[in-house]
Structure 1
């Protein structure tokens, strides 16, 4: 290869790749990479090829350097690398036998330290040694900007044999429209992450469970699957993103848009001719007028209200709309969404009678909504006619709202996504079961703990410009803490991922009389903290009380300013879950983060 290409091709042993994996060298960019989608059978087949010494496809990596730090972004081959690493990590077997952890020094140390448990039966050591010596073909090129990597990825997958059509549309798309769809889809699935760039090690935490593969997001609990709107397989093919793309295009447009595969291609500017790029340009302009965050906020709010009503009904969305459960009802969901959006957002109303609304929606798919059968092309006229018909039936259950901020009610989804995001990025998230000691002397609020919370928030703000940090009160991150809270205040915690949501209800009512009084007390305490007026204002204005099931959660939030945040005359930064003071000799490095 010529030097100009910056491309090198080499073989690297699996033992060496595993060492890089442990050092978190491999990066995944969620703007264009899929989730972990290989089944356990596909993973076994790949490992079997290695055992038999067969050649395997080239893994394509982009070398990214940030100062002295070197990382490798996976452009093609994420499923293959993950198959190798997860086999070594005992996540699946080969013909009933597991990789022998004593084969490599790295895995033996992990076993001895009880980080990984050796599963039985154990694969023959010689076979394992052959596996770790196997040379995986790598092609590494020097990064020359995001657009270059995006184009390489698109070209590799342009045949569509590996990715679904929607995944190809989203791959590397940088428009505001694509960004909104990606964010909303992740929020609703529950696999959001604080950044598009993740370590390969974190991918299983935000991937959807597969057959015999226990990833972080249980597929049966995802809104679309739980409510029988989209099948599990269609979800893995990103059909949920197609629905959300339709929705975002509809609410962002000043005129109705029909739905079809061709229209989706146009919305993403997937084809380059002028006629097709005009629709994407038009939607992009409308989104700029509305503001990207407002579009996300409004759509998310309507989703949350639909989810709340369906949950109150005690049925799934499918069973609420139909007497007998139907297949493939994504279009029916869209009609309900458009009707809710028209009333909640366009007419600035709120639900005033939930019971009556549930009654009005009951069997609405059989009685009120009348969609033409099948077909890939869905006319704008039918969308409008059917949503108008549903509005006529359900509008009596709404009343004019007194404020103009529907986004205040979307914190439930935000809260769940904060919990999910914290699993891949500890630095910007902190959790406390409460501010009163969990002992017999817990009457008085622990001011030292509260001060540490504020200090931690300022450290989060110093991570980098534009950072947003959260401290959540009412969440136990250990079983022991949760059980002690139950002993003192009673009530069962609500589980979510590895967290136990205890709420602050108990300590608020016992020691302050009510959650409202407790909330007011915290706002007052913020004003007395030794932080800048800017940060006092940011934290005070953004403090929120969220009801999650029957638990009251308090969320404290900080956003980075143009200069580092200071606490009691000192600067702090956060590394993982540790808060460290910045020494004077390191001030220049800290300020350089904010001033380039």
Structure 2
């Protein structure tokens, strides 16, 4: 057949092949040109060993796989979304910035203009011993192959990602299912899974520079989320390797399907393919229809209520999941976890019950794995699943009681609060933390200026963009010195979570208003004197939450942007990073134009 009649496809016309040096790639990185889209780039999971091996390949001049980018526009400048190659780009930039060594030596920051500039500005620290300059120059001059697509359609990017990975062996079955999937079900699985792993981000589009803060790492790295601390691994529900293969998302998908489908579904690779629409069948249509009726956020809340119940039970028992339910030292046990989750879900939501006796429930769960008979193998029949759920419900039912009201959640904010803390790492503009409302001295008087700044901060956050939601959490020390000061004044030992020090506000509530309930009402009254529009006052007051984080009470303010910018005392403000800046009058037109879109 003559090639003269073959027409170039749109994809071919939008593709360019480029070669860029490592130094040039690092230049792109420091100028914030690389973004990860978490719809298909879930997490950074390369180990130190894998990163070192990749840098060694560069050092020895070996060829490396092509990096695939999608050129797009963000904030009026051309940037790149990473379709394939995020782990490799992270390995390069992390090595340059001294986050790990190779053969015991660190990259010489004097080698390249960009790294030397950051060293001179004290943004980086030179670690020692230093790798010989000639080797660093070899790395900096290494040419990386890039394929760059210019797309204005997210569906095309998703399709490219699926195609380049569909025949490869480096993605697990679950990763292939979820890669670029945009159904309500797939999106809900992704959101819940990120919350449980504690690598959630406020936006799907995250700077590569920020991804390391929520990456899954081993204990050799100083940053990110330690894999041993993740719920699934810590409780021996999954192994580290299973987590790397996204088996946690498979568990979450199976649980959500159970919550949505009228009949108990079995579990298998084929059924999972149906959930994601990779195989024809009845399940996906039923699930999507059910999600339209029940709403994803409602299902997410139900999931988190049960998940938080299980976390609280494990906390109270002072054991991990495996230690609590079995005598045997099993390496992983996803199906027993699911059976217990399903049993709790049935009792709490389908039979409208609540936990009445925590101590009795914990005792009934001890070694309960000996009383159930869960089959092994790739397929888990619905009959075996249902039989084991009924057995567990029969054992634990006496420690539940019928609810007095229809709301099963006092405040299901245990995991949600941790998610909020994690999201602040990649979107600092929309999150702020305060130790409290009082001055840190012996008198402990109410600090009116600090309270007013909280309200001002909320209005500045709301001016970020239409639909943006800003959060201010009170009861979280913003540094170690503040936490130590509170400890000395009030004898309060903070709870630590990912370098955050949660001190709570009970001491202030008691000092200012006698108890937490009076304090809550009093704080809502204080909002009325702030120089903001009445509807904004009402919105802030209506959305205030006091949540329990283990034995600490934290007060959370939030404000979601509406159709128009929000003023404070007749002026408009915006938050840039952790700073609040007044918007100049000649910038008002741009501000209102942003909201008119």
TM-score by length of 1: 0.95
Contact 2:47–2:217, Cα closer than 8 Å, also in 1: no
Structure 1 pair 539–116 and aligned structure 2 pair: CA distance change class (3 A): same
Asked if residue 108 in structure 1 is aligned to residue 109 in structure 2, the reply is no
How far apart are the structure 2 equivalents of 1:217 and 1:192? 11
Which residue of structure 2 aligns with residue 55 of structure 1? 63
Find the counterpart in structure 1 of residue 224 from structure 2: 216
Distance 1:404 1:539, change over 3 A: farther
The residue that corresponds to 2:147 in the other structure is 139
- For structure 1, the residue ranges without an aligned partner over 5 or more in a row are none
Determine the structure 2 residue equivalent to 1:37: 45
Match of 1:248 in 2: 256
Write out the 4+ residue segments of structure 1 that deviate beyond 4 Å after TM superposition: 1-4
Displacement, 1:408? 4.1
Indicate the residue corresponding to 1:490 in structure 2.
491
* TM-score, scaled relative to structure 2: 0.95
The residue correspondences of 1:91-106 to structure 2 (distance < 5 A) are: 91-106=99-114
In structure 2, C-alpha distance between the alignment counterparts of 1:354 and 1:47, rounded to whole Å: 52
Give the Å deviation of 1:151.
0.5
Paired residues for 1:131-530 under 5 Å: 131-210=139-218, 212-271=220-279, 275-276=280-281, 278-367=282-371, 369-372=372-375, 374-443=376-445, 445-530=446-531
Please state how far the C-alpha of 1:103 moved relative to its aligned partner: 0.8
The offset of 1:2, in angstroms, is: 9.0
Distance 1:18 1:63 in 2: 17
Q: Does 1:578 align with 2:586?
A: no
Alignment correspondent of 2:3: none
2:166 alignment partner, SS class: coil
Deviation at 1:137, TM superposition (A): 1.4
2:27 pairs with one of 19, 34, 40: 19
Answer yes or no: is the 8 Å Cα contact 1:39–1:213 preserved in 2.
no
In 1, Cα distance between the equivalents of 2:49 and 2:163? 28
Equivalents in 1 of 2:333, 2:75: separation in Å?
51
> Is contact 2:218-2:228 (8 Å) kept?
no
Question: How much has 1:432 moved relative to structure 2?
Answer: 0.3
Does the CA-based 8 Å contact 1:14-1:136 persist in structure 2? Answer: yes
Q: What is the Cα deviation at residue 404 of structure 1?
A: 2.8
**Equivalent residue, structure 2, for 1:80:** 88
How far residue 475 of structure 1 moved from its aligned partner, in angstroms, is: 0.6
RMSD (Å) for aligned C-alpha atoms: 1.7
Mapped partners of 1:251, 1:448: distance in 2: 47
Identify which range, 205-214 or 333-342, moves more after superposition.
205-214
Structure 1 partner of 2:564:
563
Cα distance in 2, alignment partners of residues 230 and 156 from structure 1:
28
Q: 1:294 to 1:573 in 2, by over 3 A?
A: same
Q: Contact 1:37–1:210 (CA<8 Å) still a contact in 2?
A: no
**Runs (5+) with no aligned partner, structure 2:** 1-7
Distance 2:145 2:353 in 1: 59
SS in 1 for 2:81: strand
Distance in 1 separating the partners of 2:350 and 2:389? 13
Q: Tell whether the 8 Å contact from 2:474 to 2:555 is kept in structure 1 after alignment.
A: yes
Q: Provide closer, same or farther for how the CA distance between residues 580 and 423 of structure 1 changes in structure 2, counting only shifts above 3 A.
A: same
1:532 aligns to 2:543 (yes or no): no
Q: How much has 1:38 moved relative to structure 2?
A: 1.9
Query: C-alpha separation between the residues in 2 aligned to 1:412 and 1:403?
Result: 21
Contact 1:219–1:232 under 8 Å retained in 2: yes
Deviation at 1:67, TM superposition (A): 5.7
Cα drift, residue 155 of structure 1: 0.7
Distance apart, 1:407 and its partner CA? 4.3
1:592 partner SS: helix
How many residue pairs were aligned? 589
Post-superposition offset of 1:211: 6.1
Question: Which residue in 1 is equivalent to 2:5?
Answer: none
- Distance in 2 between residues matched to 1:94 and 1:583, nearest whole Å: 50
Aligned partner of 2:74 among 66, 69, 74: 66
The question of whether the paired residues in 2 share the 8 Å contact of 1:349 and 1:401 is answered with yes
Once the two structures are superposed, what CA deviation does each residue of 1:448-483 show, in whole Å capped at 9, x if it has no partner? 111110111111112122211110001112111111
The answer to whether the Cα contact below 8 Å between 1:160 and 1:168 also exists between their aligned partners in 2 is: no
CA 1:67–1:429: 2 relative to 1, 3 Å: closer
Partners in 1 of 2:487 and 2:332 — Cα distance?
A: 43
In structure 1, C-alpha distance between the alignment counterparts of 2:94 and 2:349, rounded to whole Å? 46
